[in-house]
A and B are shown apart, each in its own frame.
Chain A
């Protein structure tokens, strides 16, 4: 087990290192940010001073090593636009994105698991076919389009929910949250639902496939033969067995939810990390873009690492060979 954990840890660090090189080269190596930052009327001396201050006069390799050294100390550069550390800027937006992602994940599970069970138990019935057709739409329609339709239906046509922003927030342990105020929750519902839809579809597919497969297994036949009530067979035997892969995939989807929140946050003007990324791209605020990618990668890698280890710990059938797939 220790060897496996160590091996996965080294892999994770290598991935982070590779991402840092690729992103640094992609973002800093192409184009010249100074053209966009310095107004044309500035004198040549001031311009040169600015280039030196930002460290843009050094060779790319040296810039990267400086960046890497600082990154290890938790410093991913200062925002060109705001003049504050990029990491601080992103961390300030983290709670808004996290509450969105958490609510989306819960929605996906609460709606997806029962619907998946329903579809998996009677795959040929009319409601099941409708559910499975719905999952195809949930996967294939663009996220921004679904968000727009939600706004059109619930905000413009029905006038039930607000269209944008985070609403009233309260401070819990120094973190601002919308989850505890009515106004905040009203603002949260539509973006969270929009973010949840593809995940809901995935959940339904997984649970439906798992259920219809589990229903043919010997342990279900045995439970039935023993005279266990059908409800109990599903709740006690089937559900338990299909939840492990469901939990694993849900965990792995956490990263893509964070990434997809950039779209949802743009549609609903939700002040999270994703909106910050898009704004930084518009303003060519390179340190913030790089810092976002590094922090997002750190998050993906950490979550995948935990999920792998948990999966192995939960399911004794998984062999810890350390083979990366």
Chain B
């Protein structure tokens, strides 16, 4: 790794080679990464297909039977259905709840990452392009945000705006945009010194065009690569907030909230209510981390 060379520069130099093939080959050649990528694919597929494959709609209270509450894995319901992973305190099939929970967790993780990326990339680009007071102001805010533990910022924000899927997404965007802004600014500053930008400036192209058509596509690579791992971070944060009871609402439980619901029954030996969603969450986070880390190394990008 050559520290004097930025991630974006390396990404750019890769552009001459069939990049996609190269990265795909690297992922395929590592058994751990290949396993993680396959697992991640399965989890995403399960989440997307949840309404089709789940034995029960866990959001539909009418389909639940309180008589079936806290049944052990493999028990049968009154109407002959098998609860492969048991049921929770409301008599909800855990397998269905986990499939839907996976959906909520992924939805929050992906949309908050996209939102944070958009804001962070815009802020970093503006800071790098205009410099001076604008740059200083944006970077002071970034330093300020990064100076506080993310969990604390999100907790306090949610304490004032209340819980909800949209609100959790807002909280995670607020926590995560700053790191993207810092990365984007660094990448764009390197790119701006290059001759093609100078040529574009001398050519009299409008600043907006230079920023959007030249600077943005050439410096966003490293930020995008880092964002893969950040999805795992966003999912972890969402799960933590939901576990603490300030995240998603009870009507749309994510994996974190399912674990919180099961936690009180853990001590009485009804482990499945908390442990199975816990396993799903950890598989999701680990597979995202492994794939993201391999991507980062393949593109030779230094993390934030």
Contact = CB atoms under 8 A, between A and B. Distances in A.
Interface of A: 15, 18, 23, 26-27, 29-31, 136-137, 140-145, 148-149, 151-152, 155-156, 163, 255-256, 259-260, 262-263, 266-267, 277-278, 280-282, 284, 289, 293, 296-297, 300, 304, 324
A287 to B, nearest CB: 12
Interface in B265-304: 266-267, 269, 271, 274-275, 278, 281-282, 285-286, 289, 293
Contact of A300 (B148, B275, B278, B281): B148
Given A136-B289, A289-B156, 16 more contacts: A27-B156, A30-B161, A136-B293, A142-B243, A142-B256, A142-B285, A144-B244, A155-B267, A259-B152, A260-B149, A262-B151, A262-B155, A278-B244, A281-B155, A282-B245, A293-B156
Top 4 nearest A-B pairs by Cβ distance? A259-B149, A281-B159, A259-B152, A256-B149
B278 A263 contact: no
B157 interface: yes
B259 interface: yes
A144 B149 contact: no
A324 B144 CA distance: 11
A137 B269 contact: no
A201 to B, nearest CB: 13
B232 interface: yes
B246 interface: yes
B149 A145 contact: no
Given A140-B285, A293-B152, A293-B156, A15 B232 contact: no
Nearest to A290: B156
B84 interface: no
Contacts of B143: 324
A94 B232 CA distance: 32
Interface string B231-265: 01000100110011110000000001001000100
Contacts of B157: 26
Residues of A contacting B: mostly: helix
B80 interface: no
Contacts, number: 104
Nearest to B279: A145
B206 interface: no
B271 A137 contact: no
Contact of B160 (A30, A148, A256, A280): A30
Residues of B contacting A: mostly: helix
Contacts of B156: 23, 26-27, 289, 293
B18 interface: no
Given A259-B152, A263-B240, A293-B152, A145 B144 contact: no
B156 to A, nearest CB: 6
B147 interface: yes
Interface of B: 143-144, 147-149, 151-152, 155-162, 232, 236, 239-240, 243-246, 256, 259, 263, 266-267, 269, 271, 274-275, 278, 281-282, 285-286, 289, 293
A186 B148 CA distance: 31
15 contacts: A29-B160, A136-B293, A140-B285, A140-B289, A142-B240, A144-B244, A145-B281, A148-B259, A152-B275, A262-B151, A263-B244, A266-B243, A267-B263, A289-B156, A324-B143
Contact of A156 (B158, B259, B269): B269
Given A145-B281, A148-B278, A278-B245, A140 B152 contact: no
Contact of A15 (B144, B240, B275, B281): B144
A141 B286 CA distance: 8
B267 A163 contact: yes
A144 B240 contact: yes
B155 A255 contact: no
B232 A262 contact: no
B254 to A, nearest CB: 12
Contacts of A23: 156
A58 to B, nearest CB: 19
B159 A289 contact: yes
B286 A137 contact: yes
A152 B151 CA distance: 25
B263 A148 contact: yes
Contacts of A137: 286
B160 A27 contact: yes
Nearest to B141: A18
Nearest to A281: B159
A140 B232 contact: yes
A15 B275 CA distance: 42
A281 B289 CA distance: 31
Contacts of A277: 155
B274 A148 contact: yes
A31 B160 contact: yes
B160, B243, B281, B285: residue with the most chain A Cβ atoms closer than 10 Å: B160
Contacts of B245: 278, 282
B158 to A, nearest CB: 8
A148 B266 contact: yes
B266 A151 contact: yes
A142 B236 contact: yes
A259 B266 contact: no
A121 to B, nearest CB: 21
A148 B281 CA distance: 13
